Structure 1
Amino acid sequence: MKNKIKYWIGLPVLLLCSCNNFLDLDTFQNIPAEDAYNTVEDVQNGLNGMYYALGYYYFYGRNVVALGDMAADNAVASSSTGHFLSINRYNFSDTDENLDYIWQGGYQVIDRATRTIRGAKSLLTISREMHLTEKEAASLQSYISQCYALRALAEHVLVNVFALPYRAGEANSQLGIVLMDNDPIEPFTQVERSSVAQTYEQILRDIEEAGRWYTYVDNYNQNNEDDLILLDQFYMNRAAIYALEARVNLFMQNYERAIVAADSAVILRDASPVSNETYLKMWSSTAISDEDILTISKSENDNLSANSLNNLYGSYRASLTDTVVKLFAATDIRLRLIDTRTLHPRKFDGIPTSQAVNNIPVFRVSEMMLIQAEAYARLGNVSRSQEALLYTAKRNTAIETVGDLPSTAEGLLAFIVNERRREFFEEGFRWFDARRTGELISVSNGNYTDFDVAAFVYPIPSSEINSGFGVTQNPGWENTLPKN
């Protein structure tokens, strides 16, 4: 895309490593593109590199999740440590390091996905000459499916951070992001930003392609019951593809489609509802829980240490706002995940053997149920909304039946706004939720009130703009900052 992104353009295979920075790559990892995908193992390595980029602190491993709470009314950064303080107080510039990392991290995922898709498809065209087994061919098709879905996820994050929101029923001609389709963008190529409408069109195409390629895996499994290809919740499985489709369609206000996709995700996940005890314990374990649809796997050999969410809310002393804590009734079991004296959230306090290790949920069953609850309410179907909402609402043990929930669509929607804050605190949903709904919120720990976050847009990092390869800045982004 440009000089700055030359660091990751041309690095299609990033092996799993313990380096502290994606830019610090060993020589053996710098493989020429034409030699990168000669075997099924090469493609699998490319996929592993994409998952590593997704879970690195630049992107979903910390910064995207942290921004979702710090830029809204859920969390407060510590002025003494300064970590995420500029995002929290809205006194950043277009040189802000954390925004730069999100931009870089998102495009690392997109670039590696695009290259891995191309490499895998190339191998499939010569599968007979390579004497690939049926399972090897199906594995390549699985890798392609995962790449399309993860690329769509990264596109959706980037367009919601660096572009004005999608608005249903409008042209959505506002600037979106730079897209890749069949081919990656090579160094020094002139590019231009798509519109938001074009960006969402590609996101939906990528999701559709992810499902289409996964169909080949389904067909293989039907014919090979003794040698299945199964993706657990650490990978972009079929349920996770539907979960992504549900989230994207909720943002687009395609409520009927969001309901179908969310329901499909829950059915395919085929998990039992978690008990209150299990729900509380799952946050201190790296094992897959029945809540997980897709989670970023972390281990003691693969953690982000000082750059983890654990450390941001631990040693760096970020905390929740008192406004979000006050949303919990005393009978809500989720309140046990908060130190109400210090306002410290405990979801990412680590596992018993390591305080710097936690899996990072991307899609959970609870999100799918709340998507259905909101979508049904917006369509005026009160009873179905109540049924879906009860799944999480009953974590307040005073709520036992749908009769304990609001009885109007308007009341349900107001309840769901707060329920999403109760369910997803520290997981990075709040800023994105307020932005998609147009809710006016208080930010910077109450320093700015009635902030229209839907009218706000972050700047494209100056290093990208100044490279001169065609990426244009969001015009007048400074004027969208909150004001007293």
Structure 2
Amino acid sequence: MKQLLYILSAMTVISTTACRKYVEIPAENVRELKYTRDYQALLNNSFAQLEKSYFYPLFASDEVWTADGAVWQNNLNIIAANSYCWLPKFFNEQQEDQDWADLYKSMYIVNTVATEVMGSIDGTDAGKRKAYAEALVHRAFLYYTLVNIYAKQYDAATAATDPGVPVLLSTDLFASLSRASVAKVYDQIMNDLQEALPELPNLPEVNTTPSKAAVFSMMARVYLNKREFADAGRFADSALKLKNSLIDLNAYVSATYPTKNNDPEIIYSKAIQSFVASLPLRDETLNLFDSTVDLRFSLFTRFGTQVGAANFVNRGYFKHRLVNQGIYTGPGVPEMMLIKAESEARAGNTANAITILNTLRKKRYTPAGYYDLAAATPQEALVHVINERRRELMGTGMRWFDQRRLQKDPGYNFVKTVSRPFKGTIYTLEPGSPRYVFAIADKYIKLNPEIEQNPR
């Protein structure tokens, strides 16, 4: 039965004796989906499910690190610890991968809307088309996230044959779970975004709702990852024409930081909703900041003794504790500016790239401590852009995805061999390692053998 609870039916992928099964987990206090508003309610229940993004890439990124946090290390749950150590596999044969499960649960919800809402009753045609378009944008985000966790980094030379992830476009319980190629997953992402675009408003009523600005920002991310930098810059610019507001951090030195629906920088709200009590930061990350004048350092980091259970000594990420609404991972104005700046730098437009960076930085520094960046060459400008990404997107897990894509720029040394201690053992991750692609949990492959495992 089609079911609705303003907390949502869920779907996970496991098997029966025929080696496959979708398990639909019904919610309590349900009623049949019938009205257009029912389907819109599924989409609007964002915090329960659709706003979720990922969790484990946060710990895999090279910016998380502590040598003196024995308590932090001991308190880390086993799967987060496995991702922190880049182990070949994070899960045993009985364990769920919560990222995979949550993303495909969300997929079931948006596919329910996408396949059924146009046949719903008691709603306008415009309302149905809008709900359908919103479902497609959510689906595009889900596949973008999945393919960048569980598949190789997009490479034009190999994307047509590199295994991606299973692509499910309906609620058919017997659809193929074979992994579509990376290229096909990216094609599906772009198809969904392009189809959704005409039916959406320029800006959303609330930041969790898809809009044209959200579509353009997701397109910018897609093209950045494909290394089609001119298109990435073009769509970032399209998003910025619709929304370009920046927070001046000077206003929040002694004031309450805005929550997500009041945050003028958020274009499309997605978040790490699993509670992260404390996140120690690597010295290399912290040393990128002018610590006395860059307000991102003073507002968004704290010593471990000032964070939560005070279980490490070095500084850790603190921004998520200012509003306690998760760690924001969706596209925002600063990210679009950085994508535009990277596009300009890679096109040889040094002055344009630096101007964009300085516009952003003026809102991040104390007035007395601010200074303009300068670059003599496009190469120098690109280094400034990547460093600014590390400062601006710190603590969001997005560094992990940058580590993957920036290995295609070996001449810049953007991605280095990383080693870090954990409970007396040193773990190392080298550029080009297959561990930059997460393993698919053994449980899913054992029960659904058509799902191919990634090389370990």
Range of TM-score over shorter length: 0.7 to 0.9
CA distance in 1, matches of 2:193, 2:147: 16
**Percent identity for Structure 1 against Structure 2:** 23
1:167 matched to 2:167? The reply is no
Q: The residue matched to 1:194 in structure 2 has which SS? A: strand
**Residue 219 of structure 2 is aligned with which of 245, 248, 254?**
245
Q: Deviations over 1:237-284 (max 9, x none)?
A: 22111111111111011212111211111121253x321224665646
Name the stretch that deviates more: 457-466 or 39-48.
Answer: 39-48
Map 1:333-482; keep pairs closer than 5 Å: 333-336=295-298, 337-340=300-303, 342-351=314-323, 356-358=324-326, 360-394=328-362, 395-397=364-366, 398-401=369-372, 404-438=373-407, 439-443=414-418, 445=420, 447-448=426-427, 451-452=430-431, 455=434, 456-468=436-448, 470-474=450-454, 477-478=455-456
Check the 8 A contact 1:285/1:358 in 2, yes or no.
no
Letter in 2 for 1:27: E
Q: CA deviation at 1:231?
A: 2.5
Map 1:82-481; keep pairs closer than 5 Å: 82-83=76-77, 84-91=80-87, 93=89, 95=91, 100-123=97-120, 130=121, 132=123, 136-181=124-169, 183-186=170-173, 188-214=174-200, 231-269=205-243, 271=245, 273-278=246-251, 283=257, 285-296=259-270, 307-309=274-276, 311=277, 313=278, 318-330=279-291, 331-336=293-298, 337-340=300-303, 342-351=314-323, 356-358=324-326, 360-394=328-362, 395-397=364-366, 398-401=369-372, 404-438=373-407, 439-443=414-418, 445=420, 447-448=426-427, 451-452=430-431, 455=434, 456-468=436-448, 470-474=450-454, 477-478=455-456
Q: The residue matched to 2:240 in structure 1 has which SS? A: helix
Letter in 2 for 1:325: L
Check the 8 A contact 1:320/1:343 in 2, yes or no.
yes
Q: Deviations over 1:44-92 (max 9, x none)?
A: 122135663233xxx42xxx2x433321211137312023211111236
Tell me the number of residue pairs that the alignment of Structure 1 and Structure 2 aligns: 410
Q: Which residue of 2 aligns with 1:221?
A: none
Q: CA deviation at 1:166?
A: 0.3
Q: CA deviation at 1:297?
A: 8.4
CA distance in 2, matches of 1:454, 1:142: 42
Question: Against the structure 1 CA distance between its residues 363 and 190, is the aligned structure 2 distance closer, same or farther, given a 3 Å change threshold?
Answer: closer
Q: CA deviation at 1:200?
A: 0.6
1:79 matched to 2:80? The reply is no
Q: Deviations over 1:438-476 (max 9, x none)?
A: 1433445374556115743211111111113622212xx
Q: Deviations over 1:419-439 (max 9, x none)?
A: 111111111110100101114
CA distance in 2, matches of 1:378, 1:450: 27
Q: CA deviation at 1:202?
A: 0.6
**TM-score normalised by the chain length of structure 2:** 0.81
Check the 8 A contact 1:178/1:194 in 2, yes or no.
yes
CA distance in 1, matches of 2:27, 2:384: 51
Question: Against the structure 1 CA distance between its residues 118 and 50, is the aligned structure 2 distance closer, same or farther, given a 3 Å change threshold?
Answer: farther
Q: The residue matched to 2:179 in structure 1 has which SS? A: coil
Letter in 2 for 1:263: D
CA distance in 2, matches of 1:460, 1:282: 41
Q: Deviations over 1:164-212 (max 9, x none)?
A: 110135444110011123x2231x5443110001111111101111203
Q: CA deviation at 1:104?
A: 0.9
CA distance in 2, matches of 1:93, 1:13: 35
Q: The residue matched to 1:362 in structure 2 has which SS? A: coil
Question: Against the structure 1 CA distance between its residues 251 and 323, is the aligned structure 2 distance closer, same or farther, given a 3 Å change threshold?
Answer: same
Question: Against the structure 1 CA distance between its residues 152 and 362, is the aligned structure 2 distance closer, same or farther, given a 3 Å change threshold?
Answer: same
Q: What RMSD in Å do the two structures reach over aligned CA positions?
A: 3.1
Q: Which residue of 2 aligns with 1:27?
A: 28
CA distance in 1, matches of 2:350, 2:115: 46
Check the 8 A contact 2:86/2:429 in 1, yes or no.
no
Q: Which residue of 1 aligns with 2:307?
A: none
Q: CA deviation at 1:13?
A: 3.5
CA distance in 1, matches of 2:390, 2:2: 39
Letter in 2 for 1:15: Y
CA distance in 1, matches of 2:139, 2:180: 16
Name the stretch that deviates more: 439-448 or 235-244.
Answer: 439-448
Check the 8 A contact 1:148/1:206 in 2, yes or no.
yes
Question: Against the structure 1 CA distance between its residues 12 and 211, is the aligned structure 2 distance closer, same or farther, given a 3 Å change threshold?
Answer: farther
Check the 8 A contact 2:57/2:83 in 1, yes or no.
no
Q: Which residue of 2 aligns with 1:4?
A: none
**TM-score normalised by the chain length of structure 1:** 0.76
CA distance in 1, matches of 2:76, 2:49: 25
Return 5+ residue gaps in structure 2 as ranges. 13-22, 67-71, 304-312, 408-413
Check the 8 A contact 1:73/1:442 in 2, yes or no.
no
Check the 8 A contact 1:72/1:441 in 2, yes or no.
no
Q: CA deviation at 1:388?
A: 1.6
CA distance in 1, matches of 2:398, 2:264: 20
Check the 8 A contact 2:217/2:236 in 1, yes or no.
yes
Question: Against the structure 1 CA distance between its residues 98 and 365, is the aligned structure 2 distance closer, same or farther, given a 3 Å change threshold?
Answer: farther
